Amino acid sequence: MSTDIATSLPALGFPAAPDTVFDNRFVRELPADPDTSMRRRQVLGACYSAVQPTPVSAPVLLSHSPEVAAMIGLTKQQVNTPEFAKVFGGNALYRGMQPYAACYGGHQFGHWAGQLGDGRAITLGEVVNAQGERWELQLKGAGPTPYSRTADGRAVLRSSVREFLCSEAMFHLGVPTTRALSLVGTGDDVVRDMLYDGNAQPEPGAIVCRVAPSFIRFGNFEILAARDERALLEQLVDFTISRDYAHLAGDSNARRSAWFTEVCERSARMVVEWMRVGFVHGVMNTDNMSILGLTIDYGPYGWLEDFDPNWTPNTTDAAGRRYRYGQQPAIVQWNLVRLAEALRPVFQSPEPLEAGLDAFLRTYDSAYEQMMSAKFGFTAHGEPEQQLIREAFALMHDAQADFTLFFRALGEVPPVINHDAVITDVLGDVFYHENVLTQHNDRFMHWLRRWHALTSASGESFTDRRARMHAANPLYVLRNWIAQEAIDLATNGDTSRIDLLLQLLRDPYREQAGMERFAAKRPEWARHKVGCSMLSCSS
């Protein structure tokens, strides 16, 4: 027996800039699920289901991004109203919002999983701001949808804090990403089994408002191809090009070809940026791949501490390590192949798809080489530089060098290195290996002197090289232990650390006074602490 959708939420006048309007093209131009009930089901012949967020007991604003608020036309005064918390906690709607949950499928851990869909994400609508920019507003944790299967559609505070902070941190690092507008506490507990070990516990709930030009994923196309809904697949492709790739010109076939190539190139540049800052996504299923080449769905992510290309933060992936740091480029390529297979019915021949996949490899190889040269301070990209890069990563792995701190320290290496210096004299305390001086000093110093000679040969001044390297190598990243401290405080009612980190991570490349502990190695207590070492998908 079906359950009808709850009565529409109260509508509020939209308190934004006069030129900001909702223009909800996704729901206006694509077919809706004709079933308006909330029963869990397979949704056929439609791109979305109309839904309403489920109201919560006591929505309260815990934090927000002023830049994102301004981007969608909201002032500080408007954010600091009870109405804002109601809307972005799921208890009310601004005039013009048309909430929906999208239908999509996906390959999860390499296997086709069938229909997935927005099981706890609800898009409120598409804002067009005064500059003509289009931004989708999406609540994560806003209640059940027809795609929730057996889940409750909610999110806990710990995962919501992580997504809120990481979205903004990644943006300021220069990584293509979705953004985050707000973090709202719900006043309700959510029961979760954090480690999937049979110990489910109630946790405080929260809702994040995510913001992006589009939340369309590879899986939106895959589900239609899997069901042989060719006409709808073609409609979604052309809609995506028209709305999100409007700069592409030519006839339909030319635009589709150029579109797929650009999707591949954007995806390549995205993963190069992940590799640059040491970010590990943790769950690179095809339903977590943005058609815009944005980092999307911040679940069990993490940053490299001691350099290990085989590290993944995801407990679910602990055995196979499919989504480990060093394999992320190959996984993006694999996901693009799955997308190409899904799109094949709407292309006249496979050649444009093959050309797009080739473009991924060319873009990745070129961008990765340039990125690594920048990280190491090289001005050339020849074999001597590449050899030193390969040796450096082997040394970093053996000596357990902290990924972020190693590169910042390398940028600080002075114009002259003392003859009798040891590696910790030059680079400082950037190693986790207890016996680095006895076991790795000679190899590291030999490498360092060769690196120093090569970078010095360019004639570039120390000041210029240092500035270039620091521009490529952040000092502050959202390490898991740093995020966990903010979560622990927020769980006890203190959200001040969230705001402090939000401010700190707006400027991750510049040293900030009094913030030394956030630019430190992982403390020993965090090596095995839940939430600091590995994380589950439970949220």
Q: Which amino acid is at 102?
A: A
Find the helix or strand (DSSP H, E) in which 371 lies.
Answer: helix 351-376
Q: Kindly tell me the burial class for residue 484, based on how many C-beta atoms sit within 10 Å of its own C-beta (0-12, 13-18, 19 or more).
A: buried
Q: Are strands 11-12 and 93-94 parallel, antiparallel or unpaired?
A: parallel
Amino acid at 441: N
Rounded CA separation 389/331 (Å): 23
CA angle 386, 354, 247 (to 5 degrees): 90
Q: Are 300 and 282 in contact (CB under 8 A)?
A: yes
Phi first, then psi: what are they for 535, rounded to 5°?
Answer: -135, 155
Amino acid at the residue 99: P
Residues near 438 by Cβ (< 8 Å), separated by ≥ 6? none
User: Pick from 263, 273, 258: which is nearest to 367 by CA?
Assistant: 273
**CA-based nearest residue to 382, from 372, 396, 394, 392:** 372
Contacts by 148-154 with C-beta closer than 8 Å and gap 24+?
Answer: 148/40, 148/119, 148/120, 149/40, 149/119, 150/40, 151/119, 151/120, 152/120, 152/190, 153/54, 153/119, 153/120, 154/120, 154/186, 154/188, 154/190, 154/205
Calpha distance 373→367 (Å, rounded): 10
Looking up tokens 């109309």 gives 50
Q: Which residues contact 113 (CB under 8 A, 6 or more apart)?
A: 105, 106, 107, 285, 287
Name the catalytic one among 287, 297, 317, 402.
287
C-alpha pair distances (Å), 238 with each of 130, 255, 260: 26, 9, 12
Instruction: Return phi, psi of residue 314, to 5°.
Output: -95, 115
DSSP symbols for 282-313: S---GGG-BTTS-B---SS-EE-SB--TT---
Give the Cβ contact number of residue 96 at 10 Å: 18
DSSP annotation string for 163-210 = HHHHHHHHHHHT--B-EEEEEEEEEEEEEE-TTSSS--EEEEEEEEEE
Pairing verdict, β 111-115 and 105-108: antiparallel
287 is catalytic: yes
Name beta bridge partners: 177: 295
What residues contact residue 363 under an 8 Å CB cut-off, 6+ apart? Answer: 264, 265, 268, 269
Catalytic residues: 287
